[in-house]
Amino acid sequence: MTSSHSLRSRFAILIALLVASLSWLLGTLIGHDASQRIREEVGRDLAEVSFMMVDRLDRDMQSRAAMLQVIGKLRALRQPDDIVEVRVLLDRLQTEFPSIAWIGFTDTQGTVLASSDGVLEGASIGQRPVFLEAQKNVFIGDVHEAVLLAKLLPNPTGEAMKFVDISLPVFATDGSLVGVLASHLSWSWADEVRRAILEPIQKRRNVEFFVIGKDRTILLAPKDMIGQRLHLPALNEVTQRDDLWAVQEWPDGKQYLTGLALSQGHMDYKGLGWTVIARQPLDEAYAPARETTLYILLWGSVLALLFALLGWLITGYFTRPLRQIAEAADRLSAGEISVIPELKSTREIEALSNSIRHLVESLTHQQNALGVMENLAHHDALTGLPNRVALESYLPRAQQRSQAGSNCLALFYLDLDGFKPINDQFGHAAGDQLLREVAVRLRSCLREGDLVARLGGDEFLMVLSVPSSEALPQAQLVAERTLAALSAPVDLGNNQVKVGCSIGGALWPLDSSNLAEALELADQALYRAKHAGKNCAVFHTAYKH
């Protein structure tokens, strides 16, 4: 029952994860694609509204300059016999065009003869660019502050007033210079243009406009940024194109979708090199894409739960026969029945039932054979001693037991002395008989839990557990007993032979905390025993002291 429920739960979880993963993947792909599309769409919109604004500013400047050129050709200015008439004309102009903050008519020396509301009449503007630059051609000056004029004009807001100059020469019928018609346009008209363009799109997205001068000074922007220099990489590119958009990092460290358009002028107005920038925070631009992704993920989660429930119910139908097989297997292991029942269900379940029945029968027949095979795999065929495979399996368990009992492992490498001459003289059969006798004597030297393994040829390894406090003395005692056991004559039927033994020993973990290194130290000790005259035992622990 537990296994069946586990399968059902896992299947349900798998379906839920699959549906959720597909929903996540779909949401991510759609969200990424939507983000790209939205970024391009919003970017183009920002570039378009930037162009709309800069084009509107250019057209307004050109139309005001053209209007003043028409006014400058009126007889009242070309033959200024009646200054009162000129003043009335200028007052009327300011009334009709509120963006004109001040307009005045000067004589050829720059003295203001008449002006709107009489402001600056009698004063000289002869040294100002608005007069000096307009004695031959139309002059359009960039945004600037006029401190004196700002004091004389009404200023309800109290903020610093900025102006744009438009002035032109007025000629008499004979072509002689009569004076200069000069005007200051209030820069507030640019903000009115901004609001007029911004209002329709502000309901859809949070957009800000900036007007940047030719020297990259901010002319129109939020109050705390006006007058600052703006450095954006995109400003270097906009000179090569009419308009563009890009994702830019602004001085506040945030990313914005940024649309830019450079002033191209209009008709005979060449423009002042202004750049209009429209920006929107990147997070706000991507908000619709995030909402779409969240919506997909939400519905994906709901569908994942529904499909998981459906999968759980369907899996229950198919796992019922599996529960019956499991129950029969439990009864079989308890000895209540001897075979797995044959079930009628789907083709796969029936095949599984038959396969398990055949498997049980096969396992019953092969159990004894497997036991024999396992024994052969772990023991030397000639001597019956454990082989290298058994040794590799034994060593980790011996380590654990020694650590638990605060003991050491004594490791002996043994190599028979004089075995080869006997093998050559009496033949391999005699050599095999000698090795079997050596194996018997080595076993007799061990205690319960110790091991002796044949490594190959006439090489053996003994592993003994000894107390840590008396590790070396006990190891030496076993080594001496082994030497004595192997030195006794061996009866080979018609002949008696004698062999010796060289032993190299090391203690784990006293000699090395690494078991492989300790085995290597024992092998080195065997080498020294061979060169010390053979038929002796040399321990690394004793040697190093």
Q: Among all residues, which ones are annotated catalytic?
A: 458
Place of tokens 């925070």: 281
CA dihedral 469, 473, 478, 484 (to 10 degrees): -170
Question: CA 154 to CA 436: how far, in whole Å?
Answer: 124
In b/e form, how buried is each residue of 331-351, taking b as 16+ CB within 10 angstroms? ebeeeeeeebeebebeeebee
Q: Do 503 and 414 touch, CB atoms closer than 8 A?
A: yes
Residue with tokens 């890009």: 246
Residue 366 CA to residue 330 CA, distance in Å, equals: 20
Cα 531 to Cα 9, 525, 535, 536, distances in angstroms: 68, 10, 10, 10
Amino acid at 465: S
Q: Which of 95, 99, 75, 97 is nearest to 86 (CA)?
A: 75
What contacts 24+ positions apart, CB below 8 Å, involve 239-247? 242/51, 243/47, 243/48, 243/50, 243/51, 244/47, 245/43, 245/44, 245/46, 245/47, 246/43, 247/39, 247/282
**To 5 degrees, how large is the angle CA 144–CA 148–CA 152?**
115
Do the beta carbons of residue 146 and residue 130 sit within 8 Å?
A: no
Residue identified by tokens 């939205």 is 38
Q: Are 319 and 4 in contact (CB under 8 A)?
A: yes
> Which residues on adjacent β-strands are paired with residue 266?
269
